[in-house]
Amino acid sequence: MTKDAAPLIESINAITLIVSDMAQAVAFYQALGFEMSYGGPGTRFTSFHVGRGHLNLMAARAGQLAGSYDGWGRFIIYVADVDAMYDRTIAKGLTPEFAPRDANWGERYFHIRDPDGHEVSFARPLEK
């Protein structure tokens, strides 16, 4: 690698979300099937395994905003079976924004918002 060449960017290791209620956020992600690797409902920081990466939750400090529709985008998690993941969310009493659908960009997906408004998209590439 030359002095001016940028190193290869390989992957995202973790996404960290600010949450207003750690216990509520942990319960939500556990209901979706995320496996906790550190922390828990009574902590200020919790980490879940997501494939080879992690989803981290950090408790908001006093006066700090958590997620909101106007100030947040979405993150996308690939799953083996989008429809089965949707069925799991319904069985756990959660409310996705819509049923799974095929997108013209080549994925089957649906969205659900966590208790702080962070949008989680579960998706899978469509078979060609």
- Beta strand pairing call for 107-113 and 119-125: antiparallel
Q: What is the pLDDT tens value at each position of the chain, 128 positions in all?
A: 556 676 665 677 889 998 989 999 999 999 999 999 999 999 999 999 999 899 999 998 776 665 544 456 688 899 999 999 999 999 999 999 999 999 988 999 999 999 988 889 999 999 87
How far apart, in whole angstroms, are the C-alpha atoms of residue 122 and residue 55?
A: 14
> Residue 26: which residues within 8 A CB-CB, separation 6 or more?
36, 39, 40, 41, 46, 57
78 touches 71 (CB < 8 A) = no
pLDDT of residue 112: 94
pLDDT of residue 61: 77
**Residue 82, phi then psi, degrees to nearest 5:** -60, -45
Instruction: Tell me 89's DSSP state.
Output: H
User: Would you say the pTM of this structure is higher than 0.95?
Assistant: no
In the sheet that holds 101-102, the strands lie side by side as: 74-78, 119-125, 107-113, 101-102
pLDDT of residue 101: 97
Residue type, 102: D
pLDDT of residue 36: 96
Q: Topology of 14-61+74-125 in CATH?
A: 2,3-Dihydroxybiphenyl 1,2-Dioxygenase; domain 1 (3.10.180)
> Phi-psi bin for 97: left (phi > 0), alpha (psi -120 to 50), beta?
alpha
pLDDT of residue 4: 66
How far apart, in whole angstroms, are the C-alpha atoms of residue 16 and residue 18?
A: 7
pLDDT of residue 67: 54
- Enumerate the β-bridge partners of residue 59: 19
